[in-house]
């Protein structure tokens, strides 16, 4: 059950990153906030994904050197925001489809 649930959640990882990063954030803070929100994601999965989204132009990144140590802050690009809206629409349709199909199943 846990593995299936994780697989289901993993499909939403990109959408959640794009939505959460509308406010600029650095990698570890994003990981912590996702985990706090119940989306368990490995650091080894998140960091490469952030880099891939950056390479694809869906995220923009900037090194912040104001703190005691440089940190790379990510935020969603305009293209990323458009994709997030599309994915959100897909997500809503998916929920509606699942709910519709669940009606015929007895608990």
Angle at 91 between CA 33 and CA 14, to 5 degrees: 40
Which of 13, 14, 15, 49 lies at the binding interface for other proteins (CB under 8 A)? 49
Which of 5, 23, 29, 95 lies at the binding interface for other proteins (CB under 8 A)? 29
Tokens read off for 14: 């990109």
Tokens read off for 79: 């293209």
Output the CA–CA distances (angstroms, integers) from residue 28 to 71, 83, 103, 105, in the order listed. Answer: 10, 23, 40, 41
User: Which segment (51-59, 76-84, 89-97, 98-106) binds other proteins by CB under 8 A?
Assistant: 51-59
Phi, psi of 12, deg, nearest 5: -100, 5
Residue 43 touches other proteins, criterion: CB under 8 A: yes
- Give the footprint of other proteins on residues 52-81 (CB under 8 A): 52, 55, 63, 69-72
Q: Whose CA is closest to 17, among 105, 107, 102, 87?
A: 87
Residue 96 touches other proteins, criterion: CB under 8 A: no
Rounded to a whole number of angstroms, the minimum distance from the CB of residue 27 to other proteins is: 5
Which stretches of the chain bind other proteins, using CB under 8 A? 26-29, 32, 42-45, 47-49, 51-52, 55, 63, 69-72
């Amino acid at each position: 059950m846990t593995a299936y649930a994780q697989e289901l959640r993993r499909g939403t990882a990109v959408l959640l990153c794009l939505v959460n990063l509308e406010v600029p954030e650095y990698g570890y803070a994003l990981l912590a906030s996702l985990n706090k929100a119940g989306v368990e994601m490995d650091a080894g999965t998140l960091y490469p994904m952030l880099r891939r989204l950056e390479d694809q132009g869906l995220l923009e990144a900037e090194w912040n050197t104001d703190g005691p140590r440089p940190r790379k802050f990510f935020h969603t690009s305009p293209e990323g925001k458009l994709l997030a809206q599309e994915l959100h629409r897909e997500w809503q349709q998916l929920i509606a489809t699942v709910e519709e199909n669940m009606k015929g199943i007895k608990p």
